[in-house]
Amino acid sequence: MTLSHDVLIVGGGGAGLRAAIAVAEDDARLSVAIVSKVYPMRSHTVSAEGGAAAVIRPDDSLDEHAYDTISGGDWLCAQDAVEVFVKEAPGELLRLEHWGCPWSREPDGRVAVRPFGGMKKMRTWYAADRTGFHLLHTLFQTALQYERIARYDEWYVMKLLVDDGRVVGVVAVELMSGRIEAITAKAVILCTGGCGQIYPFTTNAAIKTGDGLGLAYRAGAPLKDMEFVQYHPTGLPFTGILVTEAARAEGGWLINKDGYRYLQDYDLGTPSPKPVLRSMELGPRDRLSQAFVKEIEKGRTLDTPYGPVVHLDLRHLGETVIDARLPFVRELCRSYENIDPVHELIPVRPVVHYMMGGVHTDIHGATPLEGLFAAGEAACVSINGANRLGSNSLPELLVFGARAGRAAASFASGAQGGTAVRPAVQAQVEDERRRLERDLFHRDGKEPISAIREEMRATMEEGAGIYRSGDSLAKAADRLSVLQERFRSARLEDRSRTFNTELLAALELSFMLDVAEIIVHCALLREESRGAHQRVDFPARDDHRFLANSLVHRDADGSQRVEYPPVTITRWPPGERVYGR
Amino acid sequence: MTDRITLRVTRYRPESETEPTAQEYEIPLRKEWAILDGLNHIKDHLDGTLSYRWSCRMGVCGSCGMTVNGEPKLTCATFLEDYAPGPIRVEPLSNFPVVRDLVVDIGDFMRKLPQIKPWLIRSEQEPPAENEYPQLPAEREEYERFSMCINCMLCYAACPVYGLDQEFLGPAAIALAQRYNLDSRDQGASERMDVLSAAEGIWACTFVGECSAVCPKDVDPAGAIQRYKFTAAMESLKTLLLPRGAR
Amino acid sequence: MSEKIEYTPFHPRWYRPHIPVFWWLRRRSYLLFVLRELSSVFVAWFVVFLLLLVNAVAQGPDDYRRFLDWSAGPGVLSLNVIALCFIVLHAVTWLFMLAPHAMVVRLRGKRLPAAVVGAGNLVAWVLASALVASLILG
């Protein structure tokens, strides 16, 4: 039995669905399919809260959005990509509106916008504080009208099939039955999201295990800027649940244990009662998370069983504003912290939120590996540089999801030959089948995978957290290579073929370990501090050596080789990042 | 010595068993722990073979619906402490075929979804609008509630009509149809009418009301269905009484 | 969409729980639901009873008296008492539980909460009953 499509999309979140619709609209003759390890509406896009940035107001301009994005990214963004991004973002958000997305509205019926961190103008569209949820469900429901978009729900992709330097499909396992199949395709788009699960404390859902990063890397596609890991400044302790930046955009304050708005001590401006754009609580995420660490060092945070916290104060906003603009924040605080933000302070601490890095692509979503495309958090174009601005990720997955979809469609229409499986590829499929059978039934190792996973997470937090050093990273690298070794002899108790989530967890952990090693390796080599990558032993930005993306390849012997191609600069030469001044 | 609590979890191993059994696990009772944290503790430390779905653990992805002490619940938003001293029964959602342990098959719902055309329909092929379709905040509010559904399937698990007759379109699907029918931008209500007004549509509902009672997002599918019954009744009355042109 | 995928050769062995006969006793709302379904039988009985009454009236005073005597018998009387209970259940669940959800009543652009609509229905019901009572008794 051969499963075969022209374009195969791995991942059914925002980017994957947008890409699928783009393919379906682009060429009616193409067959397109989405393979996803969860039902598409369970994808992590659903958790995004605050909003999506796109220029729509007359007092705003594309250049200002581009400048905010590039300075927010500490000049590591590919500026040609940013220009494309800000230009196409409004059209994509409007299209979402035409598909039914329930954007919040002004009294006159126009789409409403709110301020957001690091943005000089109000340009963040929102659907209360459930923007990602509404965006994902709108995309999913819109995709349902295209009967030609086939779906493999709850199938897990284990390997990309590469034939003669070209990606020709995937090997995937159907979770419900345990059967392993090759799905061939002329073009494959990776839309698998990020990898927050390699850290112990993250806003990311359990499914965000860097599968696509691992798949691409093992198949020979380079990853880019992997050392840049974004900590969101406001996560709820214990759960790591996100409290959206919109809470600060609506006027929330960050205060330390003395009730003091401490951000004023970190070159982020002076406090004022009303929110000021690009200032104080509306500074960029990297700077806010770093300020938190400095507050710990000064002993001005509060201790809880789940680590030090500061407080987010929304009380002065009042119940009406909170219920209208931040209802989900209130719901989450009530159910997970047992507090009501209308009357009480919300305990928060920085939490791993987003990977700026990803599979290296051009502005069309194409990777250097022929037939392979990527979009969304899994990809790195890069519009986010060293630090992503809040509300840029949702328009990013739309703009580049659509672009990757169109590019893959045109690649597939022009691709030579059918999708017949050549013997060399068939051998890869059989190898993968054997590997899994071995993993399924002959894994009498010593320790459970959960122990290794926990240790990996602790290693990453200690070695490659908000602040890193050559020492901490070297130690982390050593521990990770030991963990890789231990993983090879780990134990799997579950021998069932039916919905074997332990097997799934093992496959995911194997990708996560690879990604963790890459992050640490790239962080060790980047001897400077830029955006989310802060080296205590190299505290300054070094444009002379590192105004360059890190591009990490997998060499034939399995080792990592990092190159530094220069950043694409079009109109904005590197400058100082100025906030609150 | 921390407090402990027992979870009585349904196991079903399709390769070796013909029907489910219950297995007890003793886990730490912590104030912050949801039922899901308890299951994760079991999976990571006690028994790696337990299968269940979960993802966002913040009540929005809709993966982790299970039956807790007889009630359909999102296990990430249901806390151990509220059931102390236990034991707590954790079972798969009712009214669905059980695949394995706590995992059920929701393929039936997934196949029903496209039938109600849950996308924005504009009546004629108009040129793509340059700007947004205007919508007043009050018009948005009209359908907002029904747009909150996370497809967690708790309402199907609570609905005895669905339990007895799987042909029933069901609460979430009908509420979603109403979400689009009531959207001021949508012009497709007549296209959804046939499916909704069929015998397996709204008229199968006998207003038990449990769907709305168990809904974690306060969507009120029961209200959506009753409201559509009113609309449908008015429509058929119009069809009966008015000449074709005046409808 | 998904159904195109050919599951058959690999289909896992699903367990389909059978529904116990007394499933409707497990929850108050289920019980109420079954009782309300059952109430339709009594609604039908009241229609039959009314038709018999009309027929008796049409046949003349003797038949009417015989009908009244028959109605006053313990069997018919208790049947009617039970029927009345079910009719009330039927009416109450409809008027105060279902109708408020089905009806959208707006006051100054804001949708009234279901409880208010329910209360309005109750008032209307009491007024209508009072009117009927005054016609008969007055």
**pLDDT tens-digit map of B36-54:** 999 999 999 999 999 999 9
Among the partner residues C12, C24, C101, nearest to B227 by beta-carbon distance: C101
Contact of C1 with chain A, judged by CB distance below 8 Å, is answered with yes
* Dihedral sign, Cα of residue B145, residue B150, residue B154, residue B160: positive
Are A74 and A386 spatial neighbours (Cβ–Cβ below 8 Å)?
yes
**Could you report the per-residue pLDDT of C60-94, keeping only the tens digit for each?**
899 999 999 999 999 999 999 999 999 988 888 77
Q: By three-state DSSP, how is residue B191 classified?
A: helix
In terms of CATH architecture, what is B4-104? Roll (3.10)
B98 contacts in chain C (CB < 8 Å): 14-17
Q: Is residue A443 flagged as an active site residue? A: no
Q: By three-state DSSP, how is residue B116 classified?
A: helix
In terms of CATH architecture, what is B107-246? Orthogonal Bundle (1.10)
CA atoms within 13 A on the CB side of A373: 33
On the question of pLDDT at B125 being above 70, the answer is no
On the question of pLDDT at C109 being above 70, the answer is no
**Residues C6-31, mean pLDDT to the nearest whole number:** 77
What per-residue confidence (pLDDT) applies to B244? 66
Where in chain B are the domains? 4-104, 107-246
**Could you report the per-residue pLDDT of B143-180, keeping only the tens digit for each?**
999 999 999 999 999 999 999 999 999 999 999 999 99
What per-residue confidence (pLDDT) applies to C136? 87
C2 contacts in chain A (CB < 8 Å): 150-151, 153
Closest by Cα among A177, A182, A153 to A433: A182
Q: How confident is the model at residue B181 (pLDDT cuts 50, 70, 90)?
A: very high
Bridge partners for A313 per DSSP: A253
Alpha carbon distance B208, B229 (integer Å): 15
C5 contacts in chain A (CB < 8 Å): 150, 152
Are A11 and A192 spatial neighbours (Cβ–Cβ below 8 Å)?
yes
Among the partner residues B43, B113, B140, nearest to A105 by beta-carbon distance: B140
pLDDT, chain C, mean: 83
What per-residue confidence (pLDDT) applies to A283? 94
* Mutation for testing the A interface, residue in C3, C7, C10, C14 having most A CBs under 10 Å: C10
* Residue B114: both structure tokens together: 């496209």
Q: How confident is the model at residue B236 (pLDDT cuts 50, 70, 90)?
A: confident
A-to-C residue pairs, Cβ atoms closer than 8 angstroms: 23
pTM: 0.94
Q: For residue A98, give every residue at least 6 positions away whose Cβ sits within 8 Å of its Cβ, in sequence order, or none.
A: B120, B128, B129, B132, B133
What per-residue confidence (pLDDT) applies to B208? 85
Domains of chain A, earliest start first: 235-350 (3.90.700.10), 424-560 (1.20.58.100)
The percentage of residues in chain C with a pLDDT greater than 70, rounded to a whole number, is 90
- Which C residues, 22 through 51, put their C-beta within 8 Å of a C-beta on chain B? 23-24, 26-27, 29-30, 32-33, 36-37
Q: Give me the residues of chain A with pLDDT under 70, please.
A: 1, 417-420, 440-443
Q: Is the fold of B4-104 the same as that of B107-246?
A: no
On the question of pLDDT at C99 being above 80, the answer is no
What per-residue confidence (pLDDT) applies to A420? 65
ipTM of the complex: 0.96
| The dihedral formed by the CA atoms of A508, A511, A512 and A516, expressed in degrees to the nearest 10 | 180
Residue A393, amino acid? S
**Could you report the per-residue pLDDT of B101-120, keeping only the tens digit for each?**
999 999 999 999 999 999 99
Alpha carbon distance C61, C54 (integer Å): 12
Candidate list A123, A232, A353, A360, residue with the active-site label: A232
Is A179 within 8 Å of C10 when comparing Cβ atoms?
Answer: yes
Contact of C134 with chain A, judged by CB distance below 8 Å, is answered with no
C15 contacts in chain B (CB < 8 Å): 12, 14, 18-20, 97-98
What per-residue confidence (pLDDT) applies to C10? 61
**Helix spans in A369-415 (H):** 393-414
Is A174 within 8 Å of C10 when comparing Cβ atoms?
Answer: yes
Domains of chain C, earliest start first: 2-102 (1.20.1300.10), 103-138 (no CATH)
Query: How is residue B101 annotated by DSSP?
Result: T
Among the partner residues A151, A174, A177, nearest to C1 by beta-carbon distance: A151
Prior bond to A308 cis, omega within 30? Answer: no
Contact of B180 with chain A, judged by CB distance below 8 Å, is answered with yes
What per-residue confidence (pLDDT) applies to B2? 63
**Could you report the per-residue pLDDT of A234-266, keeping only the tens digit for each?**
999 999 999 999 999 999 999 999 999 999 999
What per-residue confidence (pLDDT) applies to C7? 42
Among the partner residues B15, B100, B208, nearest to C33 by beta-carbon distance: B208
Q: Which residue of B has its CA nearest to A47?
A: B60
